[in-house]
């Protein structure tokens, strides 16, 4: 399957695609650059032809959770004939990448406790906003 966007393309003449940083059954995630704020952003896309459209719900949840310090910032969303998109703050490397960079490729106990606390805060915020996340899974050992 070909990527929905290529480096150098723009969304709404505002967000410039820098590179693809992830993808899978959920869609594609790109690092982008916001021409207006001059900040790097994350751009999540789903194909407009995808049978199960989930980005609309993600937008609703993210908008409702703005102001929570464990939730990324929402910048914009939209759609065209090829894809639906959401633009949010870029959070940095994923946990798997960060873990691989550690000595022996494992987090310290202190880091694990801080991560667990932040994850539980995020889940609590989602629940307090009236949403139930029905796809929380344990992670592989070492994280």
Residue 142 lies in a domain: no
Domain match, 62 and 7 both = yes
Domain match, 77 and 42 both = yes
Domain match, 112 and 44 both = no
Name 88's bridge partners.
42, 74
Residue 82 lies in a domain: yes
Domain match, 127 and 67 both = no
HSE-up (13 A, CA, CB side) for residue 107:
17
Total count of domains within the chain: 2
Please report the pLDDT score of residue 139 as a whole number: 61
Please report the pLDDT score of residue 86 as a whole number: 97
Domain match, 84 and 100 both = no
Tokens 């894809």 belong to residue: 83
Domain match, 102 and 82 both = no
Domain match, 16 and 82 both = yes
How many other β-carbons are positioned within 10 Å of the β-carbon of residue 36? Answer: 10
Catalytic residues: 135
Residue 77 lies in a domain: yes
Domain match, 55 and 122 both = no
Domain match, 25 and 3 both = yes
Find the domain containing 5 and state its range.
1-91
Name 28's bridge partners.
23, 45
User: Which parts of the chain sit beneath pLDDT 70?
Assistant: 1, 138-143
Please report the pLDDT score of residue 140 as a whole number: 58
Domain match, 128 and 63 both = no
Please report the pLDDT score of residue 8 as a whole number: 96
Integer CA distances (angstroms), 43 to 1, 60, 103, in order: 19, 16, 31
CATH label of the domain that carries residue 82:
3.30.200.20
């Amino acid at each position: 399957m070909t990527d929905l966007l290529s480096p150098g393309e723009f969304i709404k003449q505002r967000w410039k695609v820098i590179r693809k940083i992830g993808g899978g059954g959920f869609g594609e995630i790109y690092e982008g650059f916001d021409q207006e704020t001059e900040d790097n952003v994350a751009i999540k896309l789903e194909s407009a032809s995808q049978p199960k459209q989930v980005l609309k719900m993600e937008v609703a949840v993210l908008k409702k959770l703005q102001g929570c310090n464990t939730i990324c910032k929402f910048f914009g969303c939209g759609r065209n004939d090829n894809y639906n998109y959401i633009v949010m703050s870029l959070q940095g490397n994923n946990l798997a990448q960060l873990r691989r960079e550690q000595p022996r490729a494992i987090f310290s106990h202190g880091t694990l406790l801080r991560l667990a606390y932040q994850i539980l805060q995020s889940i609590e915020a989602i629940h307090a906003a009236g949403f139930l996340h029905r796809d929380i899974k344990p992670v592989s050992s070492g994280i």
